[in-house]
Amino acid sequence: MDHTIGVLALQGDVREHLAVLTRLGERAIAVRRPAELASVDGLIIPGGESTTMIKLAKIFELYEPLRARIRDGLPTFGTCAGMILLADRIEGGAVGQETLGGLDITVRRNAFGRQVDSFEGDLPLTGLDEPVHAVFIRAPWVEAVGDGVEVLARVPADPARGAAAGRIVAVRQGSLMATSFHPEVGGDARVHELFVDLVRRARAERPTDHETKRD
């Protein structure tokens, strides 16, 4: 194994993501400092409270380094609040709420918590042969995507889902990936495996030191 995957460890479901990565045999570390961020080849931004995570990122001097690494192509996977932090645009956010950005999407904050009941259920997702059991807890959904964003999953278009029916809940754009739901809950590691594949591909495509010096 020649890569390390970090989990942003400011607040939220940090241990759960680390446990899934460890179960997959990945080298995983908690990221709280710029030096730890600099050492990883991929990063998971977990669920939690998005405004609190931004405030703590600034306190720990991680906000600008995170923005820079994401902008430079660090494979990053945001879940629930992590999706909000990766979004370029927010609806229903706190006044002046900031994000890290990178994903050309508009998310609605707390869409499942304030507009419809939180729920869980089986969800077809691009790249998986069988549906994933998705758990939504006060989750966002995606209101709109840019041209370069691939939609990976939507809530089934079932009238029983009310306002959630048909909503986008998983996306991918280049080396960035995000889900409204919590894939670290329930013991199904396949969504994490999709992200690990992103990390491996990015690592394989990275120029070697020899190539960099030659150029």
Q: Is 130 a catalytic residue?
A: no
How do beta strands 28-31 and 5-8 pair? Answer: parallel
Helix, coil or strand: residue 174:
coil
Helices 14-23 & 190-205 angle (0-180, nearest 10): 70
Token pair of 101 as six digits: 């950005």
Options 36, 182, 193, 210, the catalytic residue = 182
E-strand stretches of the chain: 5-8, 28-31, 42-45, 76-79, 87-91, 103-108, 120-123, 132-135, 141-145, 150-154, 168-173, 176-179
Q: Is 64 a catalytic residue?
A: no
Q: Is 80 a catalytic residue?
A: yes
Options 17, 26, 184, 192, the catalytic residue = 184
Options 17, 61, 64, 80, the catalytic residue = 80
Spell out the residues 6+ positions from residue 83 whose beta carbon is closer than 8 angstroms to its own: 103, 107, 140, 142, 178, 179, 180
Catalytic residue numbers, as ranges:
80, 182, 184
